[in-house]
Structures are given as structure tokens and as C-alpha cells.
Structure 1
Amino acid sequence: MKKFLLIALIVTLSIFALAQRLTILHINDTHGHIWPEGEFGGFAAIATLVNQARMSNPNTIFLHAGDINTGVPESDLQDAAPDIVALNLMKLDAVTLGNHEFDNDANVLAKQMNIAAFPFLSANIYKDGKPAFTQYIIKEVGGIKVAIVGFTAQESEILEYLYAKDYEWKEIVEVAKELIPQLEAQADIIVALTHMGSNPVIVGPNSWELAAAVDGIDVIVDGHSHTFYERPEVINGTLIVSAGEWGKYLGKLDLDVVNGTITFVSFRPIKVENSITPDFAVATVLDYFKKAGGEALNVVVGETTIKLEGDRNVVRARDTNLGYLICDAMIWKSGADIAISNSGGIRASIAAGPITYRDILTVLPFGNSLYVIEISGADFMKVLEFTATIAAGQGAMPQVSGVSYTIENGTVKDVLVNGEPIVMDKIYKVATNNYLASGGDGYTTLANHPGYDTGFVLADVVVEYVSKISPITSYQESGRINRVK
């Protein structure tokens, strides 16, 4: 039976008598922000709100629109186990795979899925010609059959280059056009749990474009763009909702379902205030993990037999081995051609001996993310010409990888990209941090070029790279930028 989503509330005696109220609670893009932060109460407060909603209406489902991973050290170091255990206690019904679920290798994702008491959904990710994950589930809630189908942004293959490339990323609209009619035959309501966002994307559709292109989706619960909705967006008869980021809000959508007709009742983003009484079980578990995560900051992630130079007066005057290592890590993680970073973002050296996660956070304390820009050789030459104007002692002093050049009398010459002369009309991928990508420290030429934020915390990228190359017994410390006086 064809279903119609009615945006105006229509109440008749017959509908009132027969309608079943369905409540959809949802969060997205939590990124490890599961403990109280400032005015927000974290997952323990969300658990209280979820429990209250279920008491008010037993016909309630609770969904997460992706990106459980990456953002808070105590969570990251434990592979998001605290997040998943808390969501288990909260009886999450399903999560869709976000791009940051591919920040780690397949073994970590498999472990997370094994811990979870809820399914990880995505219909458009394939491996070896078959769906790599559960595509959809159908839950019966108070007599209402609810189909929940997952879709993950196609651009994840680009954003999470290192591990997402191991999968086949199907065209979402094509998959949806095949699946949705099948689900219509089995369910009363179809919810697309998407990690696609409403912003422009590199490849494939965003959630709004999916709604416009595919008939039959009743509700889209979305993530990825961290968009905060005060009210649903309605496109092609599909309600689209999202709850911002970091568990700051819990989205609450109420619908009435009767005789194949779905009637919108209300939508409210509930602020997760720190004044909300936390759920005891969730708070207790998260307190334990918080302590364990703090201890994890002292876990050894690598070893060096040499000093990795990041002292302020040195790194802001010349190339250093630590500056090179950070930029090399950027290329290793992103697959970019070139990397450039500002020395002002390097706040300490690493002494010879064991390297802990805390050491790397001390070097890179700002929480910057890894950003990839597409830029022509001619425009990148302008970036290099800017670096020739930077005086010793300034935070803008560059550290680079994948490129070498000479500065002589304020002029840039002999530019090589991976050993080959720079090509002015070629488009290069340049890895940097999100601060420089926005034009920070005077790098205005980097701004306003096509590109994307990988979402990787730069410190975490360096942790991975150090773990890979340890023990460090030597490291290049000069030769990439030659300054001739």
C-alpha cells in the first residue's frame, strides 16, 4: 500500500482510534564526546532522556546516524569501546556506518561490531561483490513494522583513503531504487538511517539529493554534516532530521501510523543539559572507561633513540626532523602528493626513549584535523613564494613533505614534487591542517580551493605513523627547504 507523509496533523475520530504513535530518537556524529563537557551532559544524560521517552511511549526506537569514532583521546585510545558499551546499555536499535568508522583497520571495526548489541548498517558498501554489512533491519514496534536501511556517503572512499579503499562503494541512488520497493512490501514505514549530510559532497548524493531522487522513503535520519535541525526538512514527501553533533542534542520525532498513512506529529531537538540527572548504569561504566582512558594516555606508542626536535626557537627557524615526521605522516594517511604545516603548531620536542600518546598530544595539543586541498602547481608556487617571506621565529615557518625547493634572496627556485619538476597546470593534492586550509598564519592562498576535512585528528595520525615506523633511530632533518643567504 502506498504511504503518504502528511505534514499537517490530520485528526479524525477513526484515525485517533486506530493510530499508533511511533517515536524516533536519534543522535549522530558523537565522535567520542560521551562524557559531560561544559553545559552538556554526555551519554549518561542522553540515557535518562531515552528512558523517559520509552516510559512515555513504549513504541520508541533509538538510532545513531554514524561517526561514533574519532575525537576524544580517552575514547580513541580504547577503539570507541566506551561509546559502544554505553550505547548497548541505552538499547540502541541501530547505527549506520559513518566515514569515521573507517578511521581504523578492518580488525578494529570488526571488534567494535562484535562488542555492539546493535547492528551496523550500510546498504551501499560492498566487498567481493556482496554487501559488506547488514543493509537493513525490520523491527516490529507496537504492531508497526519499521524498516531501517543504512546508507554511507560515497565520498567516504576519498575521505578515509587508507582503509575505505578496501571496499566497493556503490552508487547510493541506484542501491536505494532497488531496495526501497522491496522494503515497501514488507514494512509500514521506511526510515533511511544515513551518514550523508546536507552539505555539498565530493562524489555521490547528499541526503537531500537522495530524498529528491528516490520515492518511498518516509524518514531520513541523517548525519555527516553535523547539521542541527530545529524542524524537519521535507523533500519529495520525505522528512529529514538530524541532531547536530557530539551528543549535544537528542532528536525526537513523533509520527502517527494508521492504515498505511504516516502523519507527522512533532519534532523537537532536546538539549542534553548537564543538569539532567545521569543514568546510574551508564554513568558508572563511563566513569570506569574515563579512568582507563586517562591511564591509556601514558601507553607507549613508539620509541626513538634520537631527539625529535620541536623546540620553539629551533622549529620556527628551520626544518627539523619532527616537522618532517609530522608532514610525512600526513601524506602516509591521506595519500596526498605534498604536505605542508606551520611550525607554530608544534609545541614541544620528543626526547629519546619511549614515546607515549601524551607526548604526542603535548607536541600537537590543538586538536587540528588533517585537511586535503586540490591545488594547481601555479597556485602552490604562490604558497611557496609566501613561505619565502616568513622570518625566523614566526609560527608560519613551514615544514614540508613531498616537495623540495630553494629560497635564494627571497626567490623560490628548483621546486621538485616527489623528485620531479613542479608542473604549473597539474592539480596536486596537498595535505595540511584545517587551520592552514582556512588561510591561517597568512596561508591565504590555500583557502578557497576544492578540498575536504578528513576528520582525522592530526595527533592521532602521528600516533599511528610513529607506531608504524618505530623504533626511530634516525630521521631526515634538512634538505627539503634550502635557504641560501
Structure 2
Amino acid sequence: MKKSFVIFTILLLIVSVMAMSAHLVILEINDTHGHAWPYGNYGGFAAMATIVNQIRTETQSNGWDFLFLDAGDVNTGIPESDMLYARPDILALDMMGLNAMTIGNHEFDHPWSVLSRQMAWADFPFLSANIVYKGTDKTLGDPYLIENFPDLKVAILGLTTKTTEYISNPEYVKGYDFLSPDTVAQQYVPELQKMVGPDGIVIALTHLGIFGYSEESVAGSPSVVSEIEKLDPPNSPYGGSVSLAQSVSGLAAILDGHSHTIVTSPLDVNGTLIIQAGSYSRYIARLDLIVENGKVTNYTYKLITVSKDIKPDEAVNDLLTAYKLVGSKKLNEPIGFSKVDFANANDSPRKSDTLIGHLITDAVAWKFQSMGVQAVFMNGGGIRAPIPAGTITYKTVLTVLPFGNTVVILKIKGSDLLKAIQWGAVAHPEDTGARLNEWGLTYTVTPDGVKDILLQGKQIDPNEIYTIATNDYMANGGDNYSMLKNAQSYNTGYVLADVVKEYIQSISPIDAYPFTPRWTEVKQ
């Protein structure tokens, strides 16, 4: 009798332990940037839907819990999406059953009227706990989401990079305060832990970035984690996901975006797992968590390639095919022909003097020469693709200039003009898009600063007023060009991409486009 009782008790204990164990499957995507359709070796959202549906079926058959999450930046990158303000992307994500998306910095590439429409199209919440309406504590999106599974409660905290306040169009972010993600998380996480109870977990869905590995692959070895911890120390207002993990205890995982990092194995920072799935719909990150008594006791991780060889989901494919037809005729109409390759390898306008930078600034100078423009300023981060040799279409130009920026004429004092040149001429690791692309200027970048600055071949008088053209993003202080806000400005209303289109039409066919350096760099 005693023996039977002991066996029964052991069985009860085993069942009790099993009951406290939960298996959570998380799928994460991030920074899709309009890449809803197949391209290159990748299958787009229709292939992605097939993967998501297969894994969802797997989890259901095993009685596991399932989350599908997006870490932000659905906007800007592919003309078919950009023209429709990412409506096809969002509707496809609806069809895939996305649980939530964090607000990324590129969700501010358009006015509030567009973002509000995107939120209305979505069957999922847009999360961010650290974006509040200016002067209030009211968040722009939902600060968090609680998912109640039969065996587990999961709190999902949304956070957005504070750098959005200066890397996004100032006109579109001026109504918001971007708070420190670390500070906000320190306030929210204890509250969320109470909400999910002792058996639940808190995760963060963030658009913060992994420092030092932008557009690169990274495996989370201890040495790599130690390196990033130094680059991204705790309690940094403008910090990334590693700063967050160092600053806040109680996060089981951080599902990150923004830096387009391909995480091949999770970074473990103080017991918090950090993952990220690259960009442009190339990958889905799968993180399986075994949770017991509110603790992650085991995990597995896999980075899944969204290959073009995967059979597309028919419903999602039909939706996207229909939307691609909208406006495709206009997009694909030839506007010119070039024998010259206007290259943009490795985002070169962010780093160097380039032929494509010349083409774009030349176009603005050509269009607005009657207004007395003496110089043209463009930020390298706004030039997103090359113009290959061959037939040029409107779609090509929109891929290069996807932000819908307009051209602004500034009457600016020489002293502020010099500050803008001295800021934009040099490289800033934390402001990689700020590097200046220009027409009408020459200068030399040295380890001791910017030298030999000439405008139209003459030195700039700090007290004189000059006329320059730029885009509305920079004119509003974007990429920390705050000194341009001191100028008297006139928004022409001309979309930059349309100006470049007109210029290409006027000079086509392009048999040659000589490159004469506009600035040089002297290194020690």
C-alpha cells in the first residue's frame, strides 16, 4: 500500500512539473521595407506566409503556444508598396495572423494621416511604450500587448529607437516625445511581471538595433556580446537592444530590428536572449522557449530563409499580385536610357563622393537654377539604390529616392551654411545617413576638420546670405542638420524623385557622365 502511494505521489509530482512547463514558439520578422513581393533568391510575403502557416500548424498539433511578431519598419523601399503607403504589406500581414508590430523610425516617413490609416488597416496593434504625444504621457501606439495562452501569459513590450527624433522627417515627428527606451522599460517591466504572474514571461519587441553589426551577420558568442556591451553601455538614452538588456532585468527575450542584423545565434545578455532577422523579408527568426515557473529553462533558435523555391501561399499571392498591377504600367514606363552605371555599392553616398550623388544634386541645380541656387545639399542616407546602365524607368528613380521628399529653397546665413558643411562633410558613425552629397561646393576633409571650403569657387562670407536647395527632411533639421532650420525656407512642392525623373528625360540618352571630384579626404 505504501509503495503504491509513493508511486502515485511521484506521478502526481511529474504531472505537476509538466503542467508548469510551457513551449512558446516565436516567429519574428523586421525591417521588411516594402519587400512584400519576390525578388532575387527570396520569395516575399507569399512564401513567408507558407512558412508561418506550416509552423503555426506544427505548434497547434503539439499543443504549443505561438506568436508571430514584427519589429518595425514596414515602410519605404519598394515603389509598389511606397505608392500605396504599405497597404498591400499590411493586408498580407493581416492574412498571416501577425500578433503585433513595433513602430519603427520609418513609420514616420509620412504624415500622421498615413500612419493612422495604416493602423486602421491592421488587424494587429502597433506597439511603442516610449513614443508619447508631446507634453503628455499618452502613447502614440499601444505600449504593450498581453497574450493569454492556456498554459502561459506573455507580455510584449514595444520600444522604438529614440534616434527617431532626428533621423526621421522632423515635420512628421514634431508632435511627439521619444523617451529613453531603457528608462521606459524600467518602469513597465515590473508592472508587466505582475500582470502575467509568477508563471508568465515578459518579452520586448523593439526597433533599437545591435550596435557594431549594422547590415551584418552576428553569432552571439561571449566575446561578441562583450564587444557590443562596450559599444552599447547600459542606461543609454539612444542605446540599442544590448543597452536595454543590460539596463533592465526580467526580460526573457528581445526581438529586435532597425540595424538589419542577421543574428545566426542569439545574444545572451544577462539572461536575456536577443535576436534579429536581417531585413527585406529575407529571413524569419524562430525562437522556441521552454518556460517553467516564469523562467526560460531551455531554448532553440533557427534562422529560416524565405526562399523563392518555397511554394507561395495562394491567398496572399493573389492579394499581392492584384496590388502589384495597380500603377505598374506607370512605374515601368521608360523615362530614359543610360550607357553609364550610376552605382551605389554598399550605400556609398553615405561614405564618399559618388556619381549617383552628382546626378541627383545636378538634377536639383538644373531644375531650380532660375531661382538663383548656389549650392545643393542632399544627405547620403536618402539615396537608397543604384541606377544601372540600360533603360531607366520611373520605378528605378523611386527605388533610389523612396521617401517622397520635396525640394526646399533656403536663404541661409553664411555662418550657418559653414556649420552645415562642417557637420555633413565628415563621417558620424551614429548618423551614417548625414554624409553630405552636394553641388556647387568643393572642400577637403582632414583629421583636423574641413578645410578649403569654396562655394562656386569662392570662400563663404559668414555674414552673407546664400541660396541653397535641399530636401524637406534636411531643411527641417533631419540627420541633425539643425542649423538649416535657422534659414528662411520655401518648399517648392516639387517631389525630389520627379525632379530627377525630369532631368534624366532631358539629358537622355546618357552616353557619358564625367566624374569630377567635389571633395577629397586626407587621412593620417
Q: TM-score band (shorter)?
A: 0.5 to 0.7
Q: How far did 1:292 drift?
A: 0.9
Partner of 1:226: 260
1:414 aligns with 2:426: no
- For residue 136 of structure 1, the aligned residue among 135, 144, 165 is 144
Partner of 1:111: 117
Partner of 1:238: 272
Q: Secondary structure at the match of 2:265?
A: coil
Q: How far did 1:236 drift?
A: 1.4
Partner of 1:89: 95
Identity %: 37
Q: Secondary structure at the match of 1:284?
A: helix
Aligned CA distance change for structure 1 residues 221 and 340 (closer, same or farther; 3 Å) = closer
Structure 1 CA distance for aligned equivalents of residues 463 and 35 of structure 2 = 39
Partner of 2:44: 42
Contact map agreement 2:43 2:307 (CA 8 A) in 1:
yes
Contact map agreement 1:243 1:250 (CA 8 A) in 2:
yes
Aligned CA distance change for structure 1 residues 21 and 405 (closer, same or farther; 3 Å) = same
1:249 aligns with 2:283: yes
Structure 2 CA distance for aligned equivalents of residues 337 and 249 of structure 1 = 38
User: RMSD of aligned C-alpha atoms?
Assistant: 4.6
After superposition, give the CA deviation of every residue in 1:364-399 in whole Å (9 maximum; x if it has no partner).
7656989xxxx9959958999xxxxxxxxxxxx952
One-letter amino acid of the counterpart of residue 25, structure 1: L
After superposition, give the CA deviation of every residue in 1:214-244 in whole Å (9 maximum; x if it has no partner).
1111110000000001111011111101100
Aligned CA distance change for structure 1 residues 104 and 237 (closer, same or farther; 3 Å) = same
After superposition, give the CA deviation of every residue in 1:270-305 in whole Å (9 maximum; x if it has no partner).
111111111111011010011114146389xxxxxx
- For structure 2, list consecutive stretches of 5 or more residues without a partner in the other structure: 1-13, 213-231, 341-356, 406-415, 426-436, 444-452, 474-478, 482-490, 504-524
Partner of 1:53: 55
Structure 2 CA distance for aligned equivalents of residues 287 and 243 of structure 1 = 25
Q: How far did 1:133 drift?
A: 1.5
Structure number with the higher helix fraction is: 2
Partner of 2:182: 173
Q: How far did 1:417 drift?
A: 7.2
Contact map agreement 2:78 2:402 (CA 8 A) in 1:
no
Partner of 1:426: none
- For structure 1, list consecutive stretches of 5 or more residues without a partner in the other structure: 1-11, 300-309, 349-357, 385-396, 422-429, 434-450, 454-462, 476-485
Aligned CA distance change for structure 1 residues 325 and 215 (closer, same or farther; 3 Å) = farther
Q: How far did 1:413 drift?
A: 2.0
Contact map agreement 1:229 1:243 (CA 8 A) in 2:
yes
Contact map agreement 2:71 2:257 (CA 8 A) in 1:
yes
Q: TM-score scaled by structure 2?
A: 0.62
Partner of 1:185: 194
Structure 1 CA distance for aligned equivalents of residues 103 and 420 of structure 2 = 36
- For residue 466 of structure 1, the aligned residue among 494, 499, 523 is 494
After superposition, give the CA deviation of every residue in 1:49-82 in whole Å (9 maximum; x if it has no partner).
1111111113111000000000000000000000
- For residue 164 of structure 1, the aligned residue among 157, 165, 173 is 173
One-letter amino acid of the counterpart of residue 219, structure 1: A
Contact map agreement 1:25 1:252 (CA 8 A) in 2:
yes
Partner of 1:78: 84
- For residue 204 of structure 1, the aligned residue among 238, 246, 253 is 238
- For residue 282 of structure 1, the aligned residue among 306, 313, 316 is 316
Q: Secondary structure at the match of 1:186?
A: helix
Contact map agreement 2:77 2:402 (CA 8 A) in 1:
no
- For residue 124 of structure 1, the aligned residue among 116, 120, 130 is 130
Partner of 2:10: none
After superposition, give the CA deviation of every residue in 1:26-64 in whole Å (9 maximum; x if it has no partner).
100000001111111111111111111111113111000
1:322 aligns with 2:364: yes
Q: Secondary structure at the match of 2:156?
A: strand
One-letter amino acid of the counterpart of residue 112, structure 1: Q
Q: Within 5 Å, give how 1:263-342 maps onto structure 2.
A: 263-295=297-329, 297=331, 322-323=364-365, 338-339=377-378
Q: Secondary structure at the match of 1:285?
A: helix
Structure 1 CA distance for aligned equivalents of residues 37 and 480 of structure 2 = 28
Q: TM-score scaled by structure 1?
A: 0.67
Structure 1 CA distance for aligned equivalents of residues 265 and 31 of structure 2 = 19
Structure 2 CA distance for aligned equivalents of residues 347 and 19 of structure 1 = 54
After superposition, give the CA deviation of every residue in 1:83-130 in whole Å (9 maximum; x if it has no partner).
000000000000000000000000000000000000000000010402
One-letter amino acid of the counterpart of residue 97, structure 2: K
After superposition, give the CA deviation of every residue in 1:235-282 in whole Å (9 maximum; x if it has no partner).
111110110011111110001122222223200001111111111110
Q: How far did 1:147 drift?
A: 0.4
Partner of 1:29: 31
Q: How many residues align?
A: 379
One-letter amino acid of the counterpart of residue 89, structure 2: D
Aligned CA distance change for structure 1 residues 359 and 147 (closer, same or farther; 3 Å) = same
Structure 2 CA distance for aligned equivalents of residues 295 and 190 of structure 1 = 47
Aligned CA distance change for structure 1 residues 276 and 338 (closer, same or farther; 3 Å) = closer
Contact map agreement 1:346 1:364 (CA 8 A) in 2:
no
